[in-house]
Structure formats: structure tokens, C-alpha cells
């Protein structure tokens, strides 16, 4: 009984003491206890939106990955946890345990230390399985995983210049990733703990809002065809004449004529979007100086090994840019249809005029040559387009006048940004003439695409308006934007910005451009794919300084010839060859690409096939479709495999129109001087015909001069700049300023 009373008194005293503590110091002790509990705030990352092509193929996607986080305080609560945990980290994530030991020693109270970033699910799951094991998992403590998303590109190099890529902090760089960065980005969510009014710990989760998806007009199949043939071109001509790639740049765009939707856009060299800093991609491309200008050399392994970080970034910056929209150049003769269209629309010509080409034309103090240095004699405007005669185009421009020429040049989009929905489009306002500074010589050279600069996207967008009835559409890549759940929030429809020419002028331009491919002396015959008739225009532009033997060659065309559905533009910037002045470097790429693209688009053949063409198609495993059920075996073809019209008079261009006569009203006769080249011997080294007197080289198929002369004066510069084309090609910043 005494012992019982003593114990009872002790418990009574303890109860009284607890009451006093609770009454006087309860809040203080409560805060101390709660402060020892673990509750934190965690960011829930959003998932960046996908980029999907017109067929539903995913081109860019964000996949969940995991960061490995170490909580040193929890790990070191028991000394026996250290070694098993470090061994598991080494085994699952290949983590250097010595580094971790040093960190633990220096930061014993750390709760957040990133051990490894962006681990795949398989590795994370392997570690978690180890923690569940009764034996090995008992001492695995202090490791948890943080969710993150990693941007991946399933098709590697495909459409790299169009898509662009993201930085480690999920910011878009170049292409669609940069232009639509705000659209693709979502909003991070958050999970956090807090004390409620009753001082209880509660957790609240605000879910992340994922980014929107882009559905683009680009077709991966068409894009793959383009990339394949650009790669084949590079393999054929790489290191052919000088060390380096097949050309400093090769670009190709395929656009819908009646909407300006981009179906394909590619260039070479390219890069893997999953490995953007791979230095191997730089070998063979033009070497850039500290300002981003080309030096005239190509990148070699030796040069690459000696580059510092600044030079390397400059070179990578040049690789990542999209040549099709960010580099400018003198377009050359592909601009001739624009000059003729302007003159027709303004009423300066009616299209049936004839002009005498004697191989050159004196404009002021300058003698400006035609590529046919022996002259073509009296030829019509249509024949001037077919044969790409500079003299005819200069006379057409003089009839139009400089003021109207400048007005129409701007109407066609020269000097203006197209506002295509891709980051990095170059500005060209300073590279074209105005009414105040254009002179007679400038007007003459501008008429055939020299002395002003443009971009590929400007040229093909304006060209589509020439052949679709005059409707200038804003070029675009994205067709639709959807939410992460698939709901459509915006449809981007084709947008007509202006009317450039009338339907009748457009029909005449198409008629003229058709003869570039179908005409006997058309400069673009080698662009015609088997079984199809197309139209277009070749281009050859001398780079500055003149007479340096360096050219930009191109072909801009459309198919089918009678009802254009798609336009294609290929530019080969300084081919790796002795004689660069040869448009066939571009036309053969066009032919190869269209041979596969047109059947894929269900555009049916209209022309009979030669046996040679049939064999080529069988090798490509393309189903041969004959719209009229013709028999290719009965078709008479020339050496190129082109069908010969038996009713077409020899020596005249198919579809060509006779001129109105010379200034004296008589019917002009074609000059025989233009055929002098046929008697020249063949140069065994180059395969061209060589003038024994001047050393100039001539294409044996077309009779055009490909080497040995300059069309323009050596001192010529671009309008109002005093700078040459080389500088203008690279002066635009790869990453435009805000709001550009």
C-alpha cells in the first residue's frame, strides 16, 4: 500500500508538470517538433509539345527522364547505409563514388545534390528494384528521383534545319523550336507542403500544363527523298576539285504552288538533332572567320583540332543556320521570269518582240556579256527565256524602266522578309536597289538576277505567284496547333497577301518557262524527270569579286507544266568543280528528286518513256503509270531520252513563237555565229568543248559557256553597301534580335 501511494503521487506530480509545460511552453515545443518534420516544395515539369509532320510522323518529342538526387542527412542517419548505397549508385548509374564521398564529407547536412541527370527509366527502375529486395534494400537510403523531360528527335538528321533544337533548359534554338517556343512550352506544376490552421502538415499538388503540339505541312517522305539526293550529290563531288564538300552549300525547297505550304526543305551540310555539337559534321564545310564570314577555305581535321571554343561555336553556328532562309546570294537567271512578268504586266512589252543578241551589250561604259558569247542573233522574248539570253532581258528591263522595275521587284517580295514561321530569316532590304540609287548598269544587271541579293525562300515564294495566276501567299510550315489532349486550338490556313500579276501574264510566263525544259535550246532540259513535262528556269550567278571562277547555280521549276501543283528550287553554291558555271549541277538534283516525289504525290505521267528512262524507273522501283496508255517502245527519243515531236521543224524551239521582226519590220534570222562552239575540240580533262583561241569551255549539250569569262565588271558592288556578295551571304545573325 505504501509503494502504491508513492507511485500514485509520482504520476500525479508528472501530470501536473506536463500540464504546466503545456500551458506555459506548449506552442514553443510544438514548433520545435514540427520543424523537425520533413516537408518541401517540388517542381513538376511540363512536357514540351510534339512536332508532327503531315502524315502524323513524330519529328520531335519529349520523353520522361530522371535526375538522381542524394539527401546526405537521411543517408548518414546510420553509418551502415553508406557503403551499400554507394555501391548501388555505382552499379546502376556508373557514378564515381569517390566524388560522392568527398561531397558527403564536406556537406553532411545537404538535402539536395544531383548525382546524375536525365537517366532512362530502365536505370531508375533497376535501382528501385534493389530497394525492394529484403537483403540489399534494407540499407539503401537517401536517394530519390526527380522527374524531367528530355527532347528527342526520332529521325535524327531529318529536317534538322526546319525543326531546330532545344537547349538544356528547354529553350528552343533555331527553326520551329525557336519560332514557336512559347507555343511548345507549357507551365510547370508544383507539389508543396504547408501547415493548416490546426498545425497539421498537408500536401497540395498543382499539376503541370503541357505544351501544345505543332502539326506541320512538311512531309517526311518528301523530306527523306530530298535529303537522300543531296547526300548523293555530296558523295559524288566531295573533294572532286578542291578539299571540301561537293559545294559550300546545297539547298532545296519544295512548295505547294497554290498555298505556299512547305512540303520539303533541306540543305547540306546537315547535322543530327540528337547530337548537335558533333564536330565531325564540320569537316568539309566552309571555314568561317571570327565575324562569321567565309574565308575561302574548308574545314579540315587539322583545322578542327586547332580551334578554340569561340571559333568552334562560330563554326557550329554556321552549321545550325538554315541556308534556305538565312543566307543571301545573287540569284542569277532564275530572276529573268520576274523581269519579263513585270514588263508584260506593265504593258512595256507584249511578249512577241525580238531583240538582237551579239554576245554582249554596251550599257554606259560597261560591256555586259551574254553567256552565249557568240550571240544568238534576233530572238524573241520567249527564246530569250528559253536560252537564258542576258541581252534580251536587259532590253526588256530598259523598256520597263527603272522606277517600274523597282516597284515590281518589291511587289514580288525582293528586299522584304516573307515572314515564314521559322527563326532566322535574313533581312535583304539593304541588298536591293531603290529608285534613288539604281542606275542604267544596275538596271541591266538586275534584269538577269545579278547585283542584288535574295534568299531561297524569297525567290520560290515570288515565283509561285508568277505561275499560279498572280496570288502571293505567305509561306508557312505549320498547319495546325493542338493541345496535349489533341484538341485543335488554331488552324493556320493559306493566306493571300497580294496580287502580283494577272492571270494572262501568268499564263504567258508559264508558256515561256515551259520551253526552258521542252525547247530545243532550253537550258533546263536535264531537269525533266522521266514521264513528266515540267517548266522552270535555270540560274547562274557570278560571285564577287568577278572573274574569280566561282558561281552559284540553280534551277527553279514546277510540275506538271500545264497545271503546276508544286514548285521546286535547288541552289548549288560554288560547286566543287573546275568549271562551276554549269546549271546541270542543280538540274540533275531536281530531276532525281522529282522522279520520286511526283509519283508519290499521285501526279500522273503524261510523257512517253524511253527504254533508258524505263530502266531507271525500274531500278528505283517506281510504278510506271501512263496517263494515255501509250507504248514507250514506239516513242522516238533523242540522246537524253526526251520524246521527239516528228512534226516539230528542226532548228526551232518546241512551242516557240515567231517574233514580230527587227526594227526594220523584216522577219529576223537566227545568227549562225551561235553554233561556232560545235566545231571546238573536246577537252579530255573536263569533258567540255574548249575554244582553242580563248580557252573558254562550252557545254556540249546546250552550247552554253561554262568557264572563261565574266558577264559583269570586276568593280561591281551591291547596292549602296560597298560590300560584296560573299559578305552579304553571312552578315545576317544566326539568332535574330528580339522582334526581328
Order of strands across the sheet with 697-698?
A: 689-690, 697-698, 705-707
Contact partners, residue 293, CB within 8 Å, separation at least 6: 726, 727, 730, 731
Radius of gyration of the chain (CA): 35
347: helix, strand or coil? coil
- Return the pLDDT at 639: 43
For residue range 150-196, list pLDDT tens digits in order: 999 999 999 999 999 999 888 999 999 999 999 999 998 887 766 55
Instruction: Select the highest-mean-pLDDT range: 188-197, 554-563, 600-609, 703-712.
Output: 554-563
Beta pairing class for 213-216 and 247-256: unpaired
From 337-341, 496-500, 504-508, 624-628, the region with the lowest mean pLDDT: 624-628
Domain with CATH 3.90.1310.10 in the chain: 41-216
Between helices 402-411 and 336-346, what is the axis angle to 10°?
A: 110
Least confident segment among 448-462, 689-703, 721-735: 721-735
pLDDT of residue 237: 94
Mean pLDDT of 303-324: 93
Report the alpha-carbon distance of residue 585 to residue 72 in Å, rounded: 64
Band (546; pLDDT cuts 50, 70, 90):
confident
Query: What is the 3-class SS of 540-581, one letter each residue?
Result: EEECCCCCCCCEEEEEEEEECCCCCCEEEEEEEEEECCCCCC
pLDDT of residue 282: 94
In the three-class reduction of DSSP (H, G, I as helix; E, B as strand; rest coil), residue 96 is classed as: coil
pLDDT for residue 731 is more than 70: no
* pLDDT score of 160: 96
Higher pLDDT, 631 or 295: 295
Q: Per-residue pLDDT for 466 more than 50? A: yes
Identify any residues that bridge with 367 across adjacent strands, giving them in sequence order.
Answer: 362
CA distance 281 to 576: 18
**Over the stretch 168-181, which tens digit does the pLDDT of each residue have?**
888 999 999 999 99
Question: 203 - beta bridge partners?
Answer: 193
The alpha carbon of 516 is separated from its chain's Cα centroid by a whole number of angstroms, namely 27
The pLDDT value recorded for residue 718 is 53
Residue 705 near residue 697, CB atoms below 8 Å: yes
Percent of the chain as helix, strand, coil, to the nearest 5: 35, 20, 45
* Segment holding 250, helix H or strand E: strand 247-256
Q: How far is CA 454 from the centre of its chain?
A: 15
* Contacts for 501 with CB less than 8 Å, ≥ 6 apart: 341, 342, 344, 345, 465, 466, 470, 509
CB 260 within 8 A of CB 464: yes
Report the top-level CATH class of 41-216. Answer: alpha beta
Reply yes or no on whether the pLDDT at 659 is more than 70: no
Lowest mean pLDDT among 427-441, 513-527, 608-622, 683-697: 683-697
Q: Which of 500, 499, 410 is nearest to 458 (CA)?
A: 410
- How much of the chain exceeds pLDDT 90, in percent? 57
What is the number of H-type helices and E-type strands within the chain?
Answer: 22, 28
- Residue count of the chain: 740
Q: In this structure, what DSSP letter does residue 111 have?
A: S
pLDDT of residue 101: 87
Distance of CA 503 to CAs 344, 380, 470, 499, Å?
11, 21, 6, 10
Query: Angle at Cα 372 formed by Cα 369 and Cα 378, nearest 5°?
Result: 95
**Crossing angle between the packed helical segments 503-518 and 456-467, to the nearest 10 degrees:** 110
CATH architecture of 325-483+492-637+667-725: 3-Layer(aba) Sandwich (3.40)
| Residue 127: C-alpha distances to residues 39, 137, 157, 511 (Å) | 24, 9, 33, 70
- Residue 642 — pLDDT band, cuts 50, 70, 90? very low
Count Cα neighbours of 519 within 13 Å in the Cβ-side half-sphere: 26
**Which residues 6+ apart lie within 8 Å of 86 measured at CB?**
97, 100, 101
Residues of the chain with CATH 3.40.710.10: 325-483+492-637+667-725
- Give, in degrees to the nearest 5, the angle at Cα 554 between 350 and 397: 30
Say yes or no to pLDDT of 240 above 70: yes
pLDDT higher than 70, residue 447: yes
Please state the rounded mean pLDDT for residues 605-609: 89
Q: Quick check: helix, strand or coil at residue 521? A: coil
Q: What is the mean pLDDT of residues 433-454?
A: 94
> Mean pLDDT in the chain?
84
| pLDDT band of 621, cuts 50, 70, 90 | low
Picking from 445, 686, 679, the residue whose alpha carbon sits closest to that of residue 584 is 686
Mean pLDDT over 390-404 rounds to 96
- pLDDT attached to residue 643: 41
Q: Where does the pLDDT of residue 24 fall: very low under 50, low under 70, confident under 90, or very high at 90 and above? A: confident
Q: What is the mean pLDDT of residues 682-711?
A: 66
Band (pLDDT 50/70/90 cuts) for residue 738 is very low
Is the pLDDT confidence value at 719 over 60?
A: no
Closest to 165 in 3D by CA, of 423, 468, 464, 486: 423
pLDDT higher than 90, residue 138 = no
Q: What are 369's strand-pairing partners?
A: 360
Burial track 442-476 (b if 16+ CB lie within 10 A, e otherwise): bbbbbbbbbbbbbbbbbbbbbbbbbbbbbbbbbbb
Which CA distances in Å does 428 have to 389, 413, 539, 569, 572? 26, 10, 19, 19, 20
Residue 100: how many CB atoms within 10 A of its CB? 20
> In the 8-state DSSP scheme, what is residue 723?
-
Q: Which of 399-403, 461-465, 585-589, 692-696 has the lowest mean pLDDT?
A: 692-696
**Residue 592 to residues 205, 406, 503, 563, 731: CA-CA distances in angstroms?**
56, 36, 31, 21, 33
What pLDDT sits at residue 656? 31
The rounded distance, in Å, linking the Cα atoms of 246 and 232 is 10
* Gap between the Cα atoms of 617 and 614, Å rounded: 5
Rounded Cα gap, residues 402 and 348, in angstroms:
12
- Is the pLDDT confidence value at 105 over 70? yes
Residue 527: pLDDT band (50, 70, 90) is very high
pLDDT of 405 > 70? The answer is yes
pLDDT at 693: 63
User: At 11, phi and psi to the nearest 5?
Assistant: -65, -35
Would you say 333 and 464 are in contact if contact means Cβ atoms under 8 Å apart? no
Q: Are 342 and 318 in contact (CB under 8 A)?
A: no
Is 70 exceeded by the pLDDT of residue 231? yes
Burial class (CB in 10 A: 0-12, 13-18, 19+), 125: middle
Cα gap 479→610, rounded to integer Å: 40
Helix (H, G, I), strand (E, B) or coil at 502: coil
Cα separation, 717 vs 430, whole angstroms? 12
Per-residue pLDDT tens digits for 581-590: 889 999 999 9
Q: Please tell me which residue, 645 or 106, carries the higher pLDDT value.
A: 106
pLDDT mean over 265-280? 94
Torsional sign, CA 27, 28, 34, 40? positive
Tens of pLDDT, residues 491-505:
999 999 999 999 999
416, with CB counted inside 10 A (0-12, 13-18, 19+), is middle
pLDDT band of residue 668 (cuts 50, 70, 90) is very low
Q: What do you get for the CA distance between the two ends of the chain, in Å?
A: 96
Mean pLDDT of 347-371: 91
Average pLDDT over residues 321-348: 96
Q: Which phi and psi (to 5°) does residue 623 adopt?
A: -65, 125
The model's confidence at residue 722, banded by pLDDT at 50, 70 and 90, is: very low
- pLDDT at residue number 545: 83
Alpha carbons within 13 A on the beta-carbon side of 42 = 18
Confidence of residue 727 (pLDDT cuts 50, 70, 90): very low
Q: Which residues pair with 214 in a beta bridge?
A: 51, 481
Report phi then psi at 715, rounded to 5: -90, 5
Q: Does pLDDT of 396 surpass 90? A: yes
Q: Give the three-state DSSP class for 539.
A: strand
CA proximity to 704, closest of 561, 587, 572, 562: 587
Per DSSP bridges, beta strands 535-542 and 551-559 are antiparallel
Amino acid at each position: 500500500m505504501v509503494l502504491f501511494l508513492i507511485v500514485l503521487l509520482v504520476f500525479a506530480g508528472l501530470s501536473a508538470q506536463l500540464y504546466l509545460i503545456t500551458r506555459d511552453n506548449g506552442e514553443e515545443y510544438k514548433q520545435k517538433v514540427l520543424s523537425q518534420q520533413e516537408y518541401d516544395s517540388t517542381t513538376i515539369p511540363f512536357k514540351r509539345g510534339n512536332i508532327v509532320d503531315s502524315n502524323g510522323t513524330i519529328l520531335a518529342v519529349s520523353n520522361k527522364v530522371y535526375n538522381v538526387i542524394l539527401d546526405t542527412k537521411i543517408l548518414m542517419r546510420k553509418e551502415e547505409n553508406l557503403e551499400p548505397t554507394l555501391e548501388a549508385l555505382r552499379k546502376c548509374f556508373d557514378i564515381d563514388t569517390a566524388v560522392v564521398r568527398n561531397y558527403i564529407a564536406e556537406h553532411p547536412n545537404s538535402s539536395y545534390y544531383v548525382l546524375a541527370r536525365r537517366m532512362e527509366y530502365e536505370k531508375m527502375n533497376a535501382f528501385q528494384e534493389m530497394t525492394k529486395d529484403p537483403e540489399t534494400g534494407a540499407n539503401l537510403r537517401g536517394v530519390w528521383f526527380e522527374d524531367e523531360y528530355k527532347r528527342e528527335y526520332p529521325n535524327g538528321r531529318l529536317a534538322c534545319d526546319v525543326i531546330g533544337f532545344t537547349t538544356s533548359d528547354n529553350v528552343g534554338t533555331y527553326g520551329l523550336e525557336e519560332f514557336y517556343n512559347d507555343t511548345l512550352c507549357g507551365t510547370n506544376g508544383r507539389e508543396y507542403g504547408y501547415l493548416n490552421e490546426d498545425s497539421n502538415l498537408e500536401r497540395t499538388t498543382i499539376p503541370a500544363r503541357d505544351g501544345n503540339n505543332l502539326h506541320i505541312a512538311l512531309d517526311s517522305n518528301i523530306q527523306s527523298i530530298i535529303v537522300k539526293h543531296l547526300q548523293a550529290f555530296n558523295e559524288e563531288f566531295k573533294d572532286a576539285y578542291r578539299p571540301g564538300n561537293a559545294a559550300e552549300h546545297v539547298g532545296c525547297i519544295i512548295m505547294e504552288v497554290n498555298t505556299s505550304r512547305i512540303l520539303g526543305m533541306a540543305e547540306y551540310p546537315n547535322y543530327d538533332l540528337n547530337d548537335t555539337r558533333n564536330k565531325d559534321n564540320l569537316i568539309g564545310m566552309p571555314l568561317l572567320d571570327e565575324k562569321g564570314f567565309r574565308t575561302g577555305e574548308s574545314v579540315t581535321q587539322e583545322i578542327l583540332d586547332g580551334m578554340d571554343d569561340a571559333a568552334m561555336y562560330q563554326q557550329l553556328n554556321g552549321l545550325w543556320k538554315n541556308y534556305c532562309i538565312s543566307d543571301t546570294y545573287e540569284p542569277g537567271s532564275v530572276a529573268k521570269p520576274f523581269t519579263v512578268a513585270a514588263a508584260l504586266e506593265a504593258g512595256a512589252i507584249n511578249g512577241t518582240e525580238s531583240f538582237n543578241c551579239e554576245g554582249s551589250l554596251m550599257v554606259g561604259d560597261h560591256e555586259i556579256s551574254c553567256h552565249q558569247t557568240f550571240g544568238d542573233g534576233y530572238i524573241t522574248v520567249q527564246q530569250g527565256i528559253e536560252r537564258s539570253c542576258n541581252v534580251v532581258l536587259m532590253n526588256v528591263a530598259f523598256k520597263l524602266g527603272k522606277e517600274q522595275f523597282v516597284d515590281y521587284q518589291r511587289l514580288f517580295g525582293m528586299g522584304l522578309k516573307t515572314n515564314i514561321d521559322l527563326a532566322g530569316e535574313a533581312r535583304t532590304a539593304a541588298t536591293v536597289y531603290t529608285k534613288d540609287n539604281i542606275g542604267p548598269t544596275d538596271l541591266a544587271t538586275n534584269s538577269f538576277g545579278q547585283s542584288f541579293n535574295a534568299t531561297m525562300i524569297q525567290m520560290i515564294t515570288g515565283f509561285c505567284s508568277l505561275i499560279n495566276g498572280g496570288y502571293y501567299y505567305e509561306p508557312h510550315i505549320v498547319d495546325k496547333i493542338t493541345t496535349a489532349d489533341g484538341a485543335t486550338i488554331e488552324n493556320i490556313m493559306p493566306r493571300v497577301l497580294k496580287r502580283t500579276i494577272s492571270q494572262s501574264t501568268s499564263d504567258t510566263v508559264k508558256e515561256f518557262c515551259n520551253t526552258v525544259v521542252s525547247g530545243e535550246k532550253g537550258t533546263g532540259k536535264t531537269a525533266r524527270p522521266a514521264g513528266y513535262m515540267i517548266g522552270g528556269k535555270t540560274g547562274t550567278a557570278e560571285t564577287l569579286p568577278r572573274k574569280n571562277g566561282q558561281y552559284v547555280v540553280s534551277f527553279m521549276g514546277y510540275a506538271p507544266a500545264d497545271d503546276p501543283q508544286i514548285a521546286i528550287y535547288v541552289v548549288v553554291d560554288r560547286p566543287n568543280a573546275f568549271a562551276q558555271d554549269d546549271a546541270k549541277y542543280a538540274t540533275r538534283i531536281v530531276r532525281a528528286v522529282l522522279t520520286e516525289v511526283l509519283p508519290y504525290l499521285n501526279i500522273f505521267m503524261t510523257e512517253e518513256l524511253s527504254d533508258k528512262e524505263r530502266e531507271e524507273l525500274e531500278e528505283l522501283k517506281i510504278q510506271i503509270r501512263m496517263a494515255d496508255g501509250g507504248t514507250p517502245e514506239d516513242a522516238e527519243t533523242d540522246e537524253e531520252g526526251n520524246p521527239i515531236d516528228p512534226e516539230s521543224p528542226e532548228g526551232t524551239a518546241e512551242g516557240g513563237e515567231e517574233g514580230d521582226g527587227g526594227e526594220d519590220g523584216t522577219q529576223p534570222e537566227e545568227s549562225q555565229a551561235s553554233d561556232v562552239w560545235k566545231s571546238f575540240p573536246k577537252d579530255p580533262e573536263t569533258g567540255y568543248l574548249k575554244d582553242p583561241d580563248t580557252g573558254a569551255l562550252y557545254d556540249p549539250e546546250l552550247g552554253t559557256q561554262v568557264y572563261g569569262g565574266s558577264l559583269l565588271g570586276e568593280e561591281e558592288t551591291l547596292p549602296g553597301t560597298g560590300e560584296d556578295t560573299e559578305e552579304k551571304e553571312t552578315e545576317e545573325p544566326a539568332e535574330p534580335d528580339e522582334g526581328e
